[in-house]
């Protein structure tokens, strides 16, 4: 059964699910521990679990509100659903919860408190962006209102569906590079696969409250370079990133996935897939004059 997601996430990667499943299959990694150190909505991890392709997922997230949401899903899903029932989806609640956006550490409040706030802002703000304004604006003078993306029953059923697998889900808070450094040896000695989806190089700052500067992207690339556990990274297609991963002594596999959202009239672009294991070509409609990469 398809794992449905309670979050609407900017940069969510559900569209890569089949591709990642294929990578696991090709490299005989079915049943592995699947580590997603930039979890966001954890769309791929959760779907791998729902398809029984992995034994366990480890989700790490830097944003205290998103981390706390997942923590509450695995630790207290019933209470979380009761809180959702009680939540008035209104501008008043938006202002009441707003101070929680200033919280720097998830240790400052119980996961339930921050998790409800994270879910609230994710479902009531423009494009699910936690630092954005509410849908309909602060004056609510649009035909879209703050509650139009918060179907409570559906969100609760997604939470309860995920919670059935809570024994197989570990949720951690922190910085991905530090986490990978600390767990590098363990991950190399166990059957682990890391799906790395850092904040976008170009748009990260506008989409997430925590994003990377050049040195952070470089630190991640340098760490991945010396890591021998299998990993797959997805990035926006930018010369800086291509140079980081394909320049100098790096020898990664790379594929380019063309995103073409013109049907929805939204955006056009491409996503880079990088890995230290051989990754299959991306299935997509043939188009002339695409640059050939590794």
Ligand X SMILES: C[S@@+](CC[C@H](N)C(=O)[O-])C[C@H]1O[C@@H](n2cnc3c(N)ncnc32)[C@H](O)[C@@H]1O
**Site residues for ligand X per CB under 6 A:** 9, 11-13, 37-38, 40-41, 43-44, 60-63, 66, 175-176, 197, 199, 208, 210-211
If one counts every other C-beta atom within 10 angstroms of the C-beta of residue 99, the result is 9
Beta pairing partners, 104: none
Q: Backbone phi, then psi, for 229, in 5-degree steps?
A: -70, 150
Nearest to 157 by CA among 80, 54, 88, 89: 80
Pick 58 or 91: Cβ nearer ligand X: 58
Q: Is 203 helix (H, G, I), strand (E, B) or coil?
A: coil
Report, in Å, the least distance between residue 12 CB and ligand X. Answer: 4
Pick 229 or 235: Cβ nearer ligand X: 235
Report, in Å, the least distance between residue 140 CB and ligand X. Answer: 27
Tell me the residue nearest to ligand X as measured from the CB: 40
Report, in Å, the least distance between residue 252 CB and ligand X. Answer: 19
Q: Which residue do the tokens 């423009």 mark?
A: 126
Structural contact between residues 156 and 81, judged by C-beta atoms closer than 8 angstroms:
yes
Report, in Å, the least distance between residue 161 CB and ligand X. Answer: 17
CA distance 119 to 128: 9
Report, in Å, the least distance between residue 229 CB and ligand X. Answer: 17
User: In this structure, what DSSP letter does residue 285 have?
Assistant: -
Pick 88 or 214: Cβ nearer ligand X: 214
Pick 211 or 253: Cβ nearer ligand X: 211
Report, in Å, the least distance between residue 225 CB and ligand X. Answer: 18
Pick 43 or 91: Cβ nearer ligand X: 43
Structural contact between residues 245 and 292, judged by C-beta atoms closer than 8 angstroms:
no
Structural contact between residues 147 and 124, judged by C-beta atoms closer than 8 angstroms:
yes
Structural contact between residues 187 and 229, judged by C-beta atoms closer than 8 angstroms:
yes
Q: Which residue do the tokens 């550490």 mark?
A: 105
Pick 79 or 202: Cβ nearer ligand X: 202
Pick 7 or 81: Cβ nearer ligand X: 7
Q: Backbone phi, then psi, for 91, in 5-degree steps?
A: -65, -35
Structural contact between residues 66 and 93, judged by C-beta atoms closer than 8 angstroms:
no
Report, in Å, the least distance between residue 15 CB and ligand X. Answer: 9
Structural contact between residues 56 and 172, judged by C-beta atoms closer than 8 angstroms:
no
């Amino acid at each position: 059964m398809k794992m449905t997601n309670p979050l609407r996430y900017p940069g969510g990667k559900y569209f890569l699910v089949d591709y990642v499943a294929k990578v696991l299959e090709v490299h005989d990694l079915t049943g592995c521990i699947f580590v997603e150190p930039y979890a966001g909505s954890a769309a791929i991890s959760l779907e791998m679990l729902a398809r029984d392709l992995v034994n366990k997922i480890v989700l790490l997230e830097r944003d205290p509100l998103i981390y706390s949401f997942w923590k509450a899903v695995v630790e207290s899903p019933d209470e979380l659903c009761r809180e959702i029932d009680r939540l008035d989806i209104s501008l008043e609640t938006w202002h009441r919860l707003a101070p929680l956006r200033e919280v720097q550490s998830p240790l400052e409040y119980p996961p339930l408190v921050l998790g409800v706030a994270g879910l609230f802002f994710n479902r009531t703000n423009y494009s699910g962006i936690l630092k954005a304004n509410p849908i309909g604006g602060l004056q609510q003078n649009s035909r879209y209102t703050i509650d139009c993306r918060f179907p409570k029953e559906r969100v609760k059923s997604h939470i309860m569906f995920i919670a059935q697998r809570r024994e197989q889900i570990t949720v951690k808070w922190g910085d991905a590079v530090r986490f990978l450094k600390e767990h590098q040896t363990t991950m190399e000695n166990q059957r682990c696969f890391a799906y790395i989806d850092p904040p976008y190089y170009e748009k990260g700052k506008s989409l997430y409250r925590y994003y990377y500067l050049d040195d952070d992207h470089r630190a991640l690339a340098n760490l991945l370079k010396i890591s021998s556990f299998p990993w797959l990274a997805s990035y926006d297609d930018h010369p800086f990133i291509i140079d980081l991963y394909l320049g100098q002594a790096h020898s990664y596999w790379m594929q380019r996935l063309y995103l073409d959202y013109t049907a929805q009239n939204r955006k056009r672009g491409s996503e880079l897939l990088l890995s230290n294991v051989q990754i299959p070509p991306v299935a997509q409609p043939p188009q002339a004059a695409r640059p050939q990469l590794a």
